[in-house]
Structure 1
Amino acid sequence: MIDVNIELFKRTSPVKKIEIIENLKQDELLGISKETILRIVKETGRRNTGSRNYEFYVTPERRRGNDWNSIIEGLWLYKGKLSLITYIQLDDTDTTVIVPLNDFFKEETFRGSIKTEDFYGNIQTEYFVYGKRAKAEVIRSFCLEYINIKYKSKLSNNE
């Protein structure tokens, strides 16, 4: 079993790293540590001017979600806390929600909710659910985006 936490930052070719990440199994992807995700955000994320906060967005073609009503757009490091930027498509409107990374990547299925109002002003609760398979695909998208940002010039020379 490959330790992605080490393999992602080794001195190997970017093409080989992409090949390794695309062939990882679900359990190997879920084994990626919070420290690895934090390093990805700090190395390739956009730093907000005048602060220590970072934003790391995944390009639309690499974004993954729960194949139902939400997609993870990226990561946000704000005041030292990592959060996921989650785009949710509801019945009559769309919205973006910030979900703490620790809550999202707990062992069990993540079930997020958002309160909205319907046409008559009644409060409705909308849910978005992520199982292990969806979480693993989200992590895969983060790793692939990291490699494509970090080694952009090397990857474009190989095409």
Structure 2
Amino acid sequence: MAVSGTPALAQSDAGEAHKLRTLDIMLMVSSLRCRNGRDDFRAEYQRFASSHLATLNRAGATLQRSLAGGSGGGGARALDRIGVQIANRYGDGHPWMNCAQLGALARSLGKHSDEVLLAEAADLAVGSEVPASKVAVPSASISAPRLSYTMAGLIDVDGT
């Protein structure tokens, strides 16, 4: 995620960074929520986080700079508040994915460090969760995707 010199592109970078941050926190919170069931995927989440550490750190830094608003201050605190809000949003579960599906997503994403596939997964798994101001499509036309797709080849659809 490159920092752009133009405000429109910088907002786009911040929107993508927000999606990646949301995906990471959603998977982390979900892995903890699912830990006591048969679909415990904490180890898969750890592999995902390790595989994408550099990208996730860049996304966090991009988002923090965006939140600081050029003043240099307040970005870290605002980033923490957003993280808490994201965690609270997923504390009761994902709106359309269950523990098995979230585990399959984390497992698939943990197998590589491809930034393009990570961004596509973020669009599919949390895209409609990103604030409406960051989404180019009117919110009335967004509907929750059905899990009959293969999430850009990231999820094995064999029931695991």
Looking at secondary structure, tell me which structure has more helix per residue.
Answer: 2
**TM-score, L = length of structure 2:** 0.24
Relative contact order: is structure 1 or structure 2 higher (C-alpha 8 Å, sep ≥ 6)? Answer: 2
